A and B are shown apart, each in its own frame.
Chain A
Amino acid sequence: DVKVTQSSRYLVKRTGEKVFLECVQDMDHENMFWYRQDPGLGLRLIYFSYDVKMKEKGDIPEGYSVSREKKERFSLILESASTNQTSMYLCASGLAAANTGELFFGEGSRLTVL
């Protein structure tokens, strides 16, 4: 079974703090994604990566950055957390060769910024 593991299930941070959210997948998938999920807004894509050291902006990249130094690991960074970044963050991975774009999600990281 594909396993996507997110480092923290729940975090509470203060405004202005730097936040790292880590994601590791064990199926050698080329593609990795970070989404945020908010009530009424659905899943919104923040950043994605097709390969090591490659990153592409999604629909809402402002206030976020990412790092992909190894194929299995994709990190989301909030340089200076703000209250409007309180959300559920979901990491996902998928095969580049899959012609249907199926994704495997982690369990999510619920971030609260005070």
Chain B
Amino acid sequence: TQLLEQSPQFLSIQEGENLTVYCNSSSVFSSLQWYRQEPGEGPVLLVTVVTGGEVKKLKRLTFQFGDARKDSSLHITAAQPGDTGLYLCAGADNNAGNMLTFGGGTRLMVKP
């Protein structure tokens, strides 16, 4: 069974601070996705990373896939209250029909 561990589970920071969320596994994934979920809503896909070492940027969010495709990180620069939400990583395995394994999530609160 593949497992994805996210850290930290909870993060409360002030507006303007930087933060990094980690997603780690002992398993190799074909690709990895990051979702954001706001309270009372479903998760929304932010990005997919496919290649080991890949870095993708989405405005103030930087996503990195580890060289060995076992881990990923999400870095937010100058966090804003609108970044508040639950961040989920999910790994896909081509050998398992691309079924997703979800991490437990990181709940981020950005205070004004």
Contacts and interface: CB of A to CB of B under 8 A. Distances in A.
Interface in A1-22: 4, 9
A107 interface: yes
B77 to A, nearest CB: 25
A105 B42 contact: yes
Given A100-B33, A100-B50, A4 B42 contact: yes
Interface string A20-33: 00000000000000
Contact of B42 (A90, A98, A100): A90
A103 B91 CA distance: 12
A108 B39 CA distance: 10
Contact of A42 (B92, B99, B105): B105
B94 A99 contact: yes
Nearest to A91: B42
Q: How large is the interface on A (under 10, 10 to 19, 20 to 34, 35 or more residues)?
A: 20 to 34
A35 to B, nearest CB: 8
A100 B31 contact: yes
B103 interface: yes
B80 to A, nearest CB: 23
Interface in B27-41: 30-31, 33, 35, 40-41
Given A43-B88, A100-B33, 18 more contacts: A41-B104, A42-B102, A99-B30, A99-B31, A99-B98, A100-B30, A101-B33, A101-B90, A101-B98, A101-B99, A102-B33, A104-B45, A105-B42, A106-B42, A107-B40, A107-B41, A108-B40, A108-B42
Interface of A: 4, 9, 40-43, 45, 48, 90, 92, 98-108, 110
